[in-house]
Structures are given as structure tokens and as C-alpha cells.
Chain A
Amino acid sequence: MNEFVEQFLVESRELVAQAIDDLMALEERPDDRERLDGAFRAFHTLKGAAGIVEFAAMARMLHAAEDILASLRSSEEPIAPSVLDECLASLDLTSHWLDAMQTNGEAPSTAEGEADAMIARLTGSQDGDERDQAALPENEVWLKPLRAAAGEHFSGICTALRYVPSPDAFFQGHDPLKVVAALPRLVAVDLALTDAAGALDSMNAFNCGLEIRALMEAPAAEVCTAIDGAPGKTEIIELTSPATSLSEGDSPSKAMSLVEAQLLVLQNTGLEGLAGRIAAAGRTAANALLYLGRAEAAADLEKATARAQAERKAAPLIAAIERTLGDVAQPERPKSDGTVQPVAPRALRVDMGRVDALVKLTGELIVVKNAVGHVSKLLQANLDPAAAATLREQHALFDRLAAELQGAVLRIRVLPLRSVFRRFPRLVRETAVGVGKTVRLVTEGDGTEADATIVDALFEPLLHVLRNAVDHGIERPEQRASAGKPAMGTLVLRARREADTIRIELEDDGGGIDLDRVRAVGRARGVATQEAMTAMTDAEAINLVFAPGFSTAAAVTGLSGRGVGMDSVKTAIERLGGTVTLESRPGTGTTVGLILPFSLMMTRVMTVEVAGQAFGLPLDGVVETSIVARDQIAPIGAGRAFVLRDRTVPVIDLADTLGIARDVSGQGQAKIVVVQAAGQIGGLEVDRLGERMDVMLTPINGLLGGMRGVAGTTLLGDGRVLIVLNVEEIFT
């Protein structure tokens, strides 16, 4: 994919997320002007980006949405939720297009039609008269008097200019007012003094301290051209009806950076298809210049593109692009307002691959640290006490710093769950409307953080669980009324950190799970045999809903009940190293619990030894360790078991399971690690209990990737490979 399109995708996604954020906040506090401005800016910038990559449908639709936001900004009326819903829907559609673009590298062919439909929805969501009243944005301090000065003398496309000539403009022989007088279709001019002017008795008449504001009935591009070359600072805002505004340093600098990016595309000799790259880069750069209103430069660039194509060399185009960049670098055309200090970005966009490389390197460092620890232990006996103490001390320091480094590196990948949760209130509402219910979603603990991979991967399964709850969990309004519940159902989505895991719960106040129906359906679908079904406890029967191909919905709705219900959730969560629990309280509701690791990179393990070989057991599955006399372990059926605090615990000999031969006849006692797997307790017999350690788990790939019972590997301090076992798979 073109580097330029990639950039577009990354930025657009961020803007979509930001706009969603602002719109959702507006939904809660409709009078929050800052959020409205934020959403408006995001839409505006998105539209600009779409224009630059020639994604006309997207630009068209976003323009319609932007119009609506602009009219909301100028109106004092409260914001109708329906309007926000349609704006959010337009963002959903945008996301959908971006996804398609990510996959195919180009805009989807269906976009035009979809855009038309969306624009119709957008305009339909708004009252006609509201649009007519739309006017200039009120928030810019300098625009207000200018607008007042213009009175009613303008309509249609309008551009506002704020021009602060440089203080030495008079010395240089410039007349800033002459420039302003020559501006196209001038409507109003306003004057102000900068601090440089001073009082009459102390003023220097040769120093320019003017600030000139002008309103023109002309597009921004034309104004740009007219003011080109004037010394000083300019800010140009195009005010279409309804008003739009370019926030300073916004799209113009972005457009220029796009022009600059084309240089990289051309200069990179490692890429193939030079002719294609010349054409694409030339077109992109020319479009960006046109967007900035620099038609002449764009025409130059097009000529250079043609020459480059004819010569089959990138050089002419590179030279032309550098010329346009050079023009901009001069102080004549700065776009930003000099009084505003540039704000350093608080966040830096870093490729995930680089972060992962850092994580991996840190992991290697930890391995080396463990190795150094091992060596230092071996040396302790041979060194003189002072040297030994220093070595120990330094190793302790190394240990601490390495742990801190690891913590800091892992925190880079951490995201709050909010980024997923914030999408749900609207989706729940839409889902509920679709099935004729009213449901509200309450989220708690959305500031809880987890690894970015986990947060991203949570959306699908959580959405499924939420839809299930709305569709199956919450009863119909009339049923709720007869059960004495409020007509509106409540879903509570809460998240919290529990030690090294994240616990996410979705609680509904619906009717709970109908166990008889679950059993009946389980039988009908052949999920379990009749005997197994009869032997099941209620708790076990509930877990039938996780079985593949199980679905209890009497009717297959558009939302869920397509037979790919909870089992897909379970699979997705387990793939992330998590577990799913289900708890039902008949008549009062259901709680689905998702327990996920905090970080995918770090695992706490306990080492055990079997027949001289070390293995790791993930610590979160270990309940306790126990030493049991061998005669206490009784054979039961094909297996063995012992009694632990009045509870029968099945025992598996780890050596047997792993196919390692060993002799235990001499030992009177067995060392058992009691573990929890699939909601059951089990014992693993081992030879020796080792230590606990934090490891960076490397999953097994390739030929051994499908091996059951193994979660991954890591390196021990002495260089041995530690195989970390998947306890769940060993027991099932």
C-alpha cells in the first residue's frame, strides 16, 4: 500500500476515535461547547484528509455531517440525540470504509451509494429552519466584530482573513492596507492594534503594529493567492454557510507534510514500480497544493510529473516538490497565529512493531540478568568475601533496574478499557431498539488498563455478550412489568484489576438462564448425551451454552441466536489466555465474567521438576502445593485421587502425562501441585517444587505449534529452556 494511504488510514482512525469520543460526551452533556468544537474539528480534518486522498464519497458525506455540527455550534438550541446518532452512524460508515481500504488499498466501490444514503439520513435528522439560521462560528474572538461589521452583506462562501504584518513591513516598503484593498470581493475590514503600536506620544510611526481583519465573499484558495507574498502572519478561515473553520496549523501544515511525504516515496529506491510511484506522488502532491489554494504550484508540479514520467526518472519531480516546500519554508506564508505558542504533542505515535521489539529486548535482558544471577551464585564460594558482596549487591541493583525497565516497557502497551467501552452505550441502545426493548448500559471502571492487544481484541467478544444480554437476557417490557421490574432493563459493564488479571463483568437484570430450556435444547442439538445431561449439576448445565453450536433463542434474530453464540466468545477469550464464567440467578439476572491476563508478555510461573527436567506452571492456575503420603493416594477407576480437606482431588502424574519414565518406588511421599483448571481442582504430581519467576513467554510456532499441553517456552538463567505447561489442556 502507498505510504501516503497508510498515513491517511492511521490518522483517520485516530480522528474517528476522537470524534466518537466527543460525540458520546456531548450525548451526556449536550451543552458542552468544547466537545462540540472538538467533534467539529475532527470531522473537518477528516474531510480534508479524505479530499487529499481523493476519496470523494467520504469527503462528501463528512461535509454533510460537518455542516450539521456547524449549525449546532451556531445554534443555542439543545442538541437532539437523533442528530448525534446520525453523526455517529456516519463515523461508523467511515470506519467501515477505512477497514475496506486497509484490506484492498483503495476506497470501496460501494462508497458512493452508501454516502448518498448517509447524507440523506444526516440531512433528514435536522430541522430545515435550523440550517437557514446557520452562521459564523461565535467562538473566535476576532470574527465577531468582523461579522458585525459585515452586517447582512454577505452570503454563500465567505473567507475571513486575519493578517498581522511583520513590524518592519513599512521599512521594507510594504503597505499592508494596499494588499487588503486588493483582496477579492471585500465585504468588511476591521483594524486592531498589536502591543507593538503603543500610545501616541511613545509610538514609532515607522513600526507596524496593525492587525488587519477582513471578510471576503471568496473561497479561501483565492484569498490565499491574493495575500501570498505579504510579509507577516496570516490566518485564513473559510466560512461556508453554515460556517466552517480551519483551526490554525491544522490542515494546511498537514497538507504540506503530505507533499513532503511524497519526497520519501520518490527517494526510496528500494521500492518497485517507479512509473507508478511518480504518477501517484505527483498527483497527491498536486492535490495537496490545490487544497492549499496554490494552483500555480500545482500546475508546475503536474508539468514536472509529466517530465519525470517521460524521462523515467524521479529527479525532476523531486526537484519540483522541493521547490514548493522551499517556498513555504520562507516566512511569507506562515499560517499560524503568532500569539499562540505551538503545543508540543503529549503523545507520540509509535509503530507497534517497535514497541514489541523493545519488549522483546527487555525480555532478553531479563534472561541475561537471570544468567548473571546464576553465575554469581556459582562464584560466591570461590570469591573473597568483599568481592562476593559487591557482586551480590550489583546483581541486586541489576535485578531491580531490570524489573523497573520491564514494568515501564510493558506500560507502553497499556490502554484503558474506555477505548473499547465507549463504543457500547450506543450499540446497546441500537440493539435494544431493534428488538423492541429499552435498555441502558452502565459502565464502571472503564479506566482499568490492560495490554493494547487485549483491549483491541475485547471488542468483538464483549459486543457479542452485550447483544446476547439485550436479546436473551433482558425480558420483554410486558414480562418485566408482570415480574415487578422497571420497564427499562439495566446492563452493568464493569472492569477491575485483580492482581495480574483483568476482570470484566457484564451483569443484566433480566430473567436469568432457563436451565430446563438449556437442557432441552442441549439434548435437541446433541450437545451432550442424555446420560451426561442427567448427571450434570445446574452449574455444569449452564456451561452448556458455551458448547459449540448451542443457541437458546427461540427465534433466530438478526442480533444473535445464529448458533455461534457464547462458544465464539469463549474461544476468543481463551485465545487471549483468559477464561469465561457464567452465573445465573433465576428471575433476577445473569452475570458473564471475563477474566483476562493484564499483559500478554509477562507470565508468572512456578517451576517444578520431573525426572530431572524443569517445567513451568502458570502461577495463576496454581492453588497450593501439598505433600501427601503415597498411601493416601487411592486409585479410583482408571485414575488416582487423594482427599484434601474433605475434598476428593484427582491426581495426574506429570511424568506419565509427558511420557517421561522415572522410578518413584523409593519415595514415601508425593509432592502435589494443586491447580485449578476449567473450574475444577486437580493435582499434579511432581518430583521437586522450584521457584516462582516472571518470564516473557514465547509461544511455540511452527511444527511444534499444535502441541497440546504446552503454553510456551522461556530461557532459564543457566541457559536451559523452560517449557511452560498449559494446565487446562493437560487435564482435559
Chain B
Amino acid sequence: MTVVLHDAKTIRLIGACPADDGEALLQHLLANPAAEIDWRGCESAHAAVIQVLLVSKRPLRGPPAGQFLHRFIGPALARNGSQV
């Protein structure tokens, strides 16, 4: 499992998150409106996952493990209103 609900306050993204994780993440977010996302263990994420992050604008705890995510996607999400 690459999307894990740690507790009601944290959703963790771990390793390489595939496309299906988008839906899983979405479900977690909807079920836990106050939860923030910890993507420190995330190596890479499918665009479907990033899209959910982008729409949710939830706080992100980083930095992510993956270089691409760290260098490009994190800043892009920050510019779109996510708290990184």
C-alpha cells in the first residue's frame, strides 16, 4: 500500500504511487477533512495523484524523497496554494 492513513490527521504517500492511488487518496481526503499529507517517503507519484493534491490544496509535509517531486512538483503545488 502506497497511500496510508496514518491517523485521522495524516495521510502518508510512500514509495512510487501509481495511478490508482489517486482515487485512494481522494477517498482518504474526503473521509478526513482535517488530515494533512505527508509525502516525505514518496519517490514518485502518478499525475492522477498529483492532480488530487492540486485540487485538495491540503497542507503537505515534505520534502518528498523523489528529486522530480522535490524540485518541480512541490514548488508548483506551492504556487497553486498548497502549504508545503
Bits for B17-46, please: 1 = Cβ < 8 Å to A, else 0: 001001101100110000000000000111
Name the residue in B26, B47, B68, B79 with the highest tally of chain A Cβ atoms < 10 Å from its Cβ: B47
Closest to B76 in A: A191
What are the residues of chain A within 8 A of B19 when measuring CB–CB?
170, 173, 175, 206
Closest to B18 in A: A175
Tell which of B25, B46, B72 touches A189, judged by Cβ atoms closer than 8 Å: B72
B37-84 interface with A by 8 A CB criterion = 44-48, 50-52, 54-56, 68, 72-73, 75-77, 79-80
C-alpha spacing A176/B26, complex, angstroms: 19
Q: A171 to chain B: closest CB distance in Å?
A: 9
A125-178 interface with B by 8 A CB criterion = 145, 149, 165, 169-170, 173, 175-178
| A193 close to B79 (CB less than 8 A) | no
Closest to B67 in A: A181
Given contacts A177-B45, A193-B54, whether A205 and B80 have CB atoms under 8 Å apart is no
B interface, by DSSP: helix, strand, loop or mixed?
Answer: helix
- A to B CB contacts below 8 Å, 12 in the list: A170-B47, A175-B46, A181-B68, A186-B72, A189-B73, A191-B73, A200-B30, A203-B26, A205-B26, A205-B52, A206-B23, A210-B54
What are the residues of chain B within 8 A of A201 when measuring CB–CB?
30
Tell which of B29, B44, B46, B51 touches A209, judged by Cβ atoms closer than 8 Å: B51
Given contacts A191-B77, A206-B48, whether A198 and B55 have CB atoms under 8 Å apart is yes
Given contacts A191-B77, A205-B26, whether A177 and B55 have CB atoms under 8 Å apart is no
Q: A515 to chain B: closest CB distance in Å?
A: 78
| B75 close to A203 (CB less than 8 A) | no
Given A175-B19, A175-B46, A189-B75, 9 other A-B residues pairs in contact with their CB atoms under 8 A? A170-B48, A177-B50, A191-B73, A193-B51, A203-B55, A205-B22, A205-B48, A208-B47, A208-B48
| B56 close to A200 (CB less than 8 A) | yes
| B51 close to A208 (CB less than 8 A) | yes
Q: A179 to chain B: closest CB distance in Å?
A: 9
Tell which of B25, B73, B75, B80 touches A177, judged by Cβ atoms closer than 8 Å: B73
| A191 close to B30 (CB less than 8 A) | no
C-alpha spacing A210/B30, complex, angstroms: 20
Tell which of B46, B51, B75 touches A149, judged by Cβ atoms closer than 8 Å: B75
C-alpha spacing A193/B56, complex, angstroms: 12
What are the residues of chain B within 8 A of A193 when measuring CB–CB?
51, 54-55
The answer to whether A633 has its CB under 8 Å from any CB of chain B is no
Q: What is the interface of chain A, defined by CB distance below 8 A to chain B?
A: 145, 149, 165, 169-170, 173, 175-178, 181, 186, 188-193, 197-201, 203, 205-206, 208-210, 212
What are the residues of chain A within 8 A of B79 when measuring CB–CB?
145, 149, 190
| B22 close to A170 (CB less than 8 A) | yes
What are the residues of chain B within 8 A of A190 when measuring CB–CB?
76, 79
Given contacts A186-B72, A208-B48, A209-B51, whether A191 and B80 have CB atoms under 8 Å apart is yes
What are the residues of chain B within 8 A of A181 when measuring CB–CB?
44, 68, 72
What are the residues of chain B within 8 A of A177 when measuring CB–CB?
45-47, 50, 68, 73
Q: B33 to chain A: closest CB distance in Å?
A: 9
What are the residues of chain A within 8 A of B25 when measuring CB–CB?
205
| A210 close to B46 (CB less than 8 A) | no
Closest to B29 in A: A200
C-alpha spacing A181/B45, complex, angstroms: 11
C-alpha spacing A186/B68, complex, angstroms: 10
C-alpha spacing A170/B49, complex, angstroms: 11
What are the residues of chain A within 8 A of B76 when measuring CB–CB?
149, 189-191
Q: A105 to chain B: closest CB distance in Å?
A: 51
C-alpha spacing A181/B48, complex, angstroms: 15
Q: A189 to chain B: closest CB distance in Å?
A: 4
Query: 10 tightest A-B contacts by CB?
Result: A189-B72, A205-B22, A177-B47, A205-B23, A191-B76, A181-B68, A205-B26, A176-B47, A170-B48, A175-B46
Given contacts A181-B68, A191-B50, A200-B55, whether A206 and B22 have CB atoms under 8 Å apart is yes
Given contacts A170-B22, A175-B19, whether A203 and B52 have CB atoms under 8 Å apart is yes
Q: B48 to chain A: closest CB distance in Å?
A: 5
| B51 close to A210 (CB less than 8 A) | yes
Q: B43 to chain A: closest CB distance in Å?
A: 12
Name the residue in B50, B55, B79, B80 with the highest tally of chain A Cβ atoms < 10 Å from its Cβ: B55
Name the residue in A197, A205, A206, A210 with the highest tally of chain B Cβ atoms < 10 Å from its Cβ: A205
C-alpha spacing A177/B16, complex, angstroms: 13
Given contacts A189-B73, A191-B76, whether A175 and B30 have CB atoms under 8 Å apart is no
| B54 close to A191 (CB less than 8 A) | yes
Closest to B23 in A: A205
Q: B22 to chain A: closest CB distance in Å?
A: 4
Closest to B66 in A: A181
| A200 close to B26 (CB less than 8 A) | yes
C-alpha spacing A165/B48, complex, angstroms: 12
Closest to B57 in A: A200
Closest to B73 in A: A189
Q: A205 to chain B: closest CB distance in Å?
A: 4
What are the residues of chain B within 8 A of A192 when measuring CB–CB?
80
Q: A175 to chain B: closest CB distance in Å?
A: 5
Q: A184 to chain B: closest CB distance in Å?
A: 14
What are the residues of chain A within 8 A of B51 when measuring CB–CB?
193, 197, 205, 208-210
C-alpha spacing A288/B50, complex, angstroms: 38
What are the residues of chain B within 8 A of A178 when measuring CB–CB?
46-47
What are the residues of chain B within 8 A of A188 when measuring CB–CB?
72, 75
| A175 close to B80 (CB less than 8 A) | no
Q: A656 to chain B: closest CB distance in Å?
A: 94
C-alpha spacing A658/B26, complex, angstroms: 99
What are the residues of chain B within 8 A of A173 when measuring CB–CB?
19
What are the residues of chain A within 8 A of B23 when measuring CB–CB?
205-206
What are the residues of chain B within 8 A of A186 when measuring CB–CB?
72
C-alpha spacing A201/B31, complex, angstroms: 10
What are the residues of chain B within 8 A of A165 when measuring CB–CB?
47
What are the residues of chain A within 8 A of B55 when measuring CB–CB?
193, 197-200, 203
Q: B84 to chain A: closest CB distance in Å?
A: 13
